[in-house]
Structure 1
Amino acid sequence: MIIRKILTVLCGAVAILIAADAVAHETGDIVKPNFEQAIPNLPGKSLVAVEVVYPPGGASAPHVHAKSAFIYAYVVSGAIESKVNDGEVRVYRSGESWSEPPGASHSVSRNASKTRSAKLLAIFVVDSNDKELTTPVR
């Protein structure tokens, strides 16, 4: 009888930990490399593209971009709320885009929806030796 109670409590604790871990992952973003190529006529520069997928309610932590990176961002699906440098918080919808200057600070980057996923394609023109495209703000 006591063993059954202990097993029940342990199973419940494991279920809670698994659920908490799943929720933590659902609130972040998923960044997937898409393309990387040196730019032949711009020595020392590369073109790098990444897909950023935001689950419902997901967000990126505040971050800064590489000091050499000029960025073009295109919303593939859904709606993304963004704030770059001292600009206003703005919602960009599927098919809309914006650019970010080198060294931009990105204090807000999140899915504008709590119920639907959103996807962004970010294209960086960056110094080829800049491998850290984003650095979290602490």
Structure 2
Amino acid sequence: MKITRIIAAAALIVASALAQQTAQAQFAELERTNLMQHNLSVPRREVIQVRVDFPPGAVAATHIHPGEELVYVIEGVLEYELEGQPQITVKAGEVLFIPYGTPHAVKNVGSGNATELATYIVEKGKPLAVQGK
């Protein structure tokens, strides 16, 4: 019985590590350029602005942010999956608001590159993105 528990615990650790590597690999195809990070007048809040470039077919796996995300698509066509909502297609020149803590994923569904300007209004000192949910 004790050996079974040890094997089960080891399998759980290995599965968790593989899931984390898979999620990191899904973000690895993206090129992120940090543009700005600045404190806000609201205590414990900051704004972070990032340019995210997606090659064709690239996916940002399901994740959440500790605040709101405002998206402006600069180039291409991106498809967003926000928990509890139908898929949303956003094209160059269009915007999207992602509420605080909403699990979401995004994929480049166009034939070429896609680029978004992501502006985050988040809790200071927390990781910008947390995988899964």
TM-score interval for Structure 1 and Structure 2 normalised by the shorter chain = 0.7 to 0.9
1:13-40, Cα deviation, whole Å (9 max, x unpaired): xxxxxxxxxxx78x8322221110001x
- Tell me what 1:57 maps to: 57
The whole-number CA distance in structure 2 between the counterparts of 1:135 and 1:42 is 23
Structure 1: 4+ residue segments shifted above 4 A: none
The whole-number CA distance in structure 2 between the counterparts of 1:31 and 1:62 is 17
Q: Which amino acid aligns with 2:85?
A: G
- Tell me what 2:87 maps to: 89
The whole-number CA distance in structure 2 between the counterparts of 1:51 and 1:123 is 9
- Tell me what 2:30 maps to: 29
Percent of matched pairs sharing the same residue: 23
Q: By how many angstroms is 1:43 displaced?
A: 2.0
- Tell me what 2:116 maps to: 120
- Tell me what 1:111 maps to: 108
- What TM-score do the two structures reach when normalised by structure 2? 0.74
- What TM-score do the two structures reach when normalised by structure 1? 0.72
Unaligned regions of 5+ residues in structure 2, if any?
1-24
8 Å Cα contact 2:65-2:122 kept in structure 1: no
Q: Is the radius of gyration larger for structure 1 or structure 2? A: 1
